[in-house]
Amino acid sequence: MFIISVASALLIVKDFYSIKIQSSVRAYINGQAEYSKGRNNAAVNLINYLQTENLVYIAEFKKAIAIPLGDNIAGNNLLVNGDDSKTKAGFLAGKNHPADVSDMIWFYKTFSSFAFAQKAIKLWGAAAPHVNRLSTIGDMVQQLQQQGKLTPIAKEQLIEEIDGISVLSSEWESAFSRVLDDTASDIKIVLQTVNILLILLIMSISFLFVMKIINSLNKSESELKSTVIMLNDTNRELENFSYVASHDLKEPLRMVTNFLGLIEKKYNNQLDETGKTYIHFAVDGASRMKKLIDDLLEYSRTSINKITYETVDLNEVIARLRTDFQDVLDEPGAGLFAEAMPQIVANKLQMQQVLQNLVANAIKYRSKAAPQVHINASATADHWVFAVRDNGLGIEAEYFKTIFVIFQRLKTNKIQSGTGIGLALCKKIAERHGGEIWVESEPGKGSTFFFTVSKQL
Ligand code: ADP
Q: Which residue, by CA, sits nearest to atom 23 of ligand 1?
A: 362
Of all atoms in ligand 1, which is nearest to the CA of residue 425?
6
Mean of the per-residue pLDDT values of the chain: 89
From 413, 421, 439, give the residue whose CB has the most ligand 1 atoms within 8 Å, as the site to mutate. Answer: 413
Please tell me the distance between residue 204's alpha carbon and the centre of ligand 1 in angstroms.
60
Q: 64-121: per-residue pLDDT in tens? A: 999 999 999 999 999 899 999 999 999 999 999 999 999 999 999 988 888 887 888 8
pLDDT of residue 453: 97
Please tell me the distance between residue 404's alpha carbon and the centre of ligand 1 in angstroms.
9
Q: Which residue, by CA, sits nearest to atom 13 of ligand 1?
A: 409
- Rounded to whole angstroms, the Cα distance separating 455 from 264 reads 54
pLDDT of residue 310: 95
pLDDT of residue 415: 61
Please tell me the distance between residue 420's alpha carbon and the centre of ligand 1 in angstroms.
7
Of all atoms in ligand 1, which is nearest to the CA of residue 409?
14
Surface-to-core class of residue 191, CB atoms within 10 Å of its CB (0-12 exposed, 13-18 middle, 19+ buried): middle
Neighbour-count burial for 267-301, b at 16+ CB within 10 Å, e otherwise: eeeeeeeeeeeebeeebeebeebbebbebbbbbbe
Average pLDDT for 326-334: 93
Please tell me the distance between residue 312's alpha carbon and the centre of ligand 1 in angstroms.
26
Q: Which 3 state secondary structure label does DSSP give 221?
A: helix
Q: 184-237: per-residue pLDDT in tens? A: 788 888 888 888 888 888 888 888 889 999 999 999 999 999 888 888 877 777
Average pLDDT for 38-66: 94
Average pLDDT for 341-350: 95
What residues does ligand 1 touch, defined as CB less than 6 Å away? Answer: 357, 361-362, 365, 390, 392-393, 395, 403, 409-410, 413, 418-424, 447
Identify any residues that bridge with 261 across adjacent strands, giving them in sequence order. none
Please tell me the distance between residue 453's alpha carbon and the centre of ligand 1 in angstroms.
21
Strands, E assignment, 241-317? 310-313
Please tell me the distance between residue 350's alpha carbon and the centre of ligand 1 in angstroms.
18
CA 297-301-303 angle, to 5 degrees, is 120
Q: What's the full length of the chain, in residues? A: 457
Average pLDDT for 358-364: 96
Please tell me the distance between residue 280's alpha carbon and the centre of ligand 1 in angstroms.
26
pLDDT of residue 287: 85
Q: Which residue, by CA, sits nearest to atom 14 of ligand 1?
A: 409
Contacts of 368 (CB under 8 A, 6+ apart): none
pLDDT of residue 218: 92
Q: Which residue, by CA, sits nearest to atom 21 of ligand 1?
A: 361
Band of pLDDT at residue 441, cut at 50, 70 and 90: very high
Band of pLDDT at residue 243, cut at 50, 70 and 90: confident
Q: 258-300: per-residue pLDDT in tens? A: 898 898 888 888 888 888 888 888 888 888 888 888 887 888 7
pLDDT of residue 285: 85
Q: Which 3 state secondary structure label does DSSP give 309?
A: coil
pLDDT of residue 17: 83
Given a cut of 70, is residue 26 above it in pLDDT? yes
Q: Which 3 state secondary structure label does DSSP give 388?
A: strand
pLDDT of residue 290: 86
Helix (H) or strand (E) holding 289: helix 273-304
From 412, 423, 426, 440, give the residue whose CB has the most ligand 1 atoms within 8 Å, as the site to mutate. Answer: 423
Please tell me the distance between residue 361's alpha carbon and the centre of ligand 1 in angstroms.
6
Assess contact for 135 and 71: CB atoms under 8 A: no
pLDDT of residue 115: 82
Please tell me the distance between residue 319's alpha carbon and the centre of ligand 1 in angstroms.
23
Q: Which residue, by CA, sits nearest to atom 18 of ligand 1?
A: 361
Please tell me the distance between residue 417's alpha carbon and the centre of ligand 1 in angstroms.
10
Higher pLDDT, 117 or 33: 33
From 403, 411, 415, 417, give the residue whose CB has the most ligand 1 atoms within 8 Å, as the site to mutate. Answer: 403
Q: 119-177: per-residue pLDDT in tens? A: 888 888 888 899 999 999 999 998 988 888 889 998 999 999 999 998 888 888 888 88
Given a cut of 80, is residue 425 above it in pLDDT? yes
pLDDT of residue 412: 63
Q: 384-405: per-residue pLDDT in tens? A: 999 999 999 999 999 999 999 9
